[in-house]
Amino acid sequence: MARIVMKFGGTSVADIVRIRNVARHVKREVDAGHEVAVVVSAMAGKTNELVQWTREASPMHDAREYDAVVASGEQVTAGLLAIALQNMGVHARSWQGWQIPIKTDNAHGAARILDIDGAFLTKRFGEGQVAVVAGFQGIGPDNRIATLGRGGSDTSAVAIAAAVKADRCDIYTDVDGVYTTDPRIEPKARRLAKISFEEMLEMASLGAKVLQVRSVELAMVHRVRTFVRSSFDDPDAPGMGDLLNPPGTLICDEEEIVEQQVVTGIAYAKDEAQISLRRVGDRPGVAAGIFVIGIGMRSHAGVAATAFKALADKSINIRAITTSEIKISILIDGPYTELAVRTLHSIYGLDKQ
C-alpha cells in the first residue's frame, strides 16, 4: 500500500465527461489499496471567467473579495469530482483549503503556503476516505481565503504530498510527460523517463508549461517524488496502476538517475528583446533565447563548444551567451529559433533512445 497525492489540471476536469474519467483514475488507485488524496484545479476557462467578472464589477476591487470569487472555481470542481467518485462507490468528500487548514500568508492573489495540517488528512486516510481538495487556495492570518496565484494547484498538490509524507505526487495534465524539446518543433522529441529537480526547475523557469515553478521548488526542497502523467490515457490500460514506474516522467533527485545524459533538453523563448547601447555597433530587435539544459554538464567538457559549432555550421549568428552549472543560454535572431532547436536537439543525440 502506498500514499499518493493526485492532482488534475483544468483541461483534465474541463467538463463532466472528463471529471468522470478523472474519477476512474482515482478509483484505480483506491482499488489497488492505496491511500489517496486528490487536488483539483478549476474547470478549463473558469478562472479566467471569474477574473473577468471581478474586473467588470469593479476595476479597483478588494484583493480579499477577489480571492473569494476566483477560489470558487476549484471548489466547484472538488464537489463535482467527489459526487462522481461517490457514484462509483468510492468513499470521497470534498474539502476546501480553509477546512484542513492550508495556512498561507496575507499576500492575497499571490499567497505562499506557510503550513498544512498533515494530521488532518492522515486521519481521512485512516477512515478510508478520499479527500478531494480544492487547489490554488488556503486561509490567511486574517481568516480570509487566500489564493496562491496562477498554477497554484500544482503547488497545493506538492505541499500536501510533503505534509502527509506521500510516496509520490502524480500531476495529471494534457501531456504524457516531459519531453526533450517541444514536439511541435521537433517531431523526434522523446519523452523523458526521469528528470532531476534542478533540470525541471530550469525548464519550468523558462516557460515549460508542464509544471509551475513554485511547485518544482517545493518538490525539490521536500524531496517529493513527482510524476507528470496524462489524464487522457485510458485509466485501465496495462501499466497505469504500476506503483513504482507508471507511465509518464518522474521528477526526482539526480541520485535516482543511474546514467545521466550530458544534455537533457532544449528549451526556447521567442519573446526575448535585444537592446543596443549607444555607440555600440549592434542593432536592437526581437531575439530568441535557446537554452541547453543538463546536469551532465558538470562532469563533461566541451558541451558549449559543441553547440556553438553546430549553430555556426547552420549559419546561425550568436548574439550573446551566458552559462551556469547546468544551463547554456544562447541569444540568436528570432527567425532562426526552430532551426536552432532542431539542430541542437540532434547534435546532442536527444532524438535517440
Query: pLDDT per residue over 320-330, tens digit each?
Result: 999 999 999 99
Return the HEC string of the chain: CCEEEEEECCHHHCCHHHHHHHHHHHHHHHHCCCEEEEEECCCCCHHHHHHHHHHHHCCCCCHHHHHHHHCHHHHHHHHHHHHHHHHCCCCEEEECHHHCCEEECCCCCCCCEEEECHHHHHHHHHCCCEEEEECCEEECCCCCEEECCCCHHHHHHHHHHHHCCCCEEEEEECCCCCECCCCCCCCCCCECCEEEHHHHHHHHHCCCCCCCHHHHHHHHHHCCCEEEEECCCCCCCCCCCCCCCCCCEEEECHHHCCCCCCCCEEEEEEEEEECCCCCCCCCCEEEEEEEEECHHHHHCCCHHHHHHHHHHHCCCCEEEEEECCCEEEEEEEHHHHHHHHHHHHHHCCCCCC
**pLDDT reported for residue 96:** 97
pLDDT value for 242: 86
pLDDT (0 to 100) of residue 274? 54
Rounded alpha-carbon distances, angstroms, from residue 24 to 168, 185, 232? 19, 33, 11
> What is the structure's pLDDT at 85?
99
Q: pLDDT grade, residue 249 (50/70/90)?
A: very high
The more confidently predicted of residues 114 and 242 is: 114
pLDDT at position 261: 84
- State how far the Cα of 146 lies from the Cα of 134, in Å rounded to an integer: 12
pLDDT at 12 exceeding the cut of 50: yes
Range with lowest mean pLDDT among 5-19, 164-178, 262-276: 262-276
Q: 132: closest CA among 251, 2, 22?
A: 22
Give CA torsion, residues 130, 173, 212, 15, to 10 deg.
-70
Model confidence band, residue 200 (pLDDT cutoffs 50, 70, 90): very high
Which residue type does 306 have?
T
In the prediction, which pLDDT does 271 show? 66
Mean pLDDT across the chain: 93
Distance CA 141, CA 139 (A): 7
Q: What is the mean pLDDT of residues 249-254?
A: 95
Kindly report, residue by residue over 270-319, the tens digit of the pLDDT.
766 555 545 445 555 578 999 999 999 988 889 999 999 999 999 999 99
**Dihedral sign for Cα atoms in the order 97, 101, 102, 105:** positive
What does the pLDDT read at residue 279?
47
197-201, 254-258, 319-323: least confidently modelled range: 254-258
Whether residue 22 has pLDDT greater than 50: yes
Is the pLDDT at 172 greater than 50? The verdict is yes
**C-alpha span between 134 and 199 (Å, rounded):** 29
Mean pLDDT, rounded, for 112-116? 98
Question: Where does the pLDDT of residue 347 fall: very low under 50, low under 70, confident under 90, or very high at 90 and above?
Answer: very high
pLDDT of residue 280: 46
Q: What domains sit in the chain, N to C, each tagged with a CATH number?
A: 3-175+210-254 (3.40.1160.10), 265-347 (3.30.2130.10)
| Exposed/middle/buried for residue 109 (C-beta within 10 Å: 0-12, 13-18, 19+) | middle
> How many CB atoms lie under 10 A from the CB of residue 267?
22
Tell me what pLDDT residue 321 has.
94
pLDDT digits (tens, 9 = 90+) for 78-102: 999 999 999 999 999 999 999 999 9
The more confident residue out of 278 and 341 is: 341
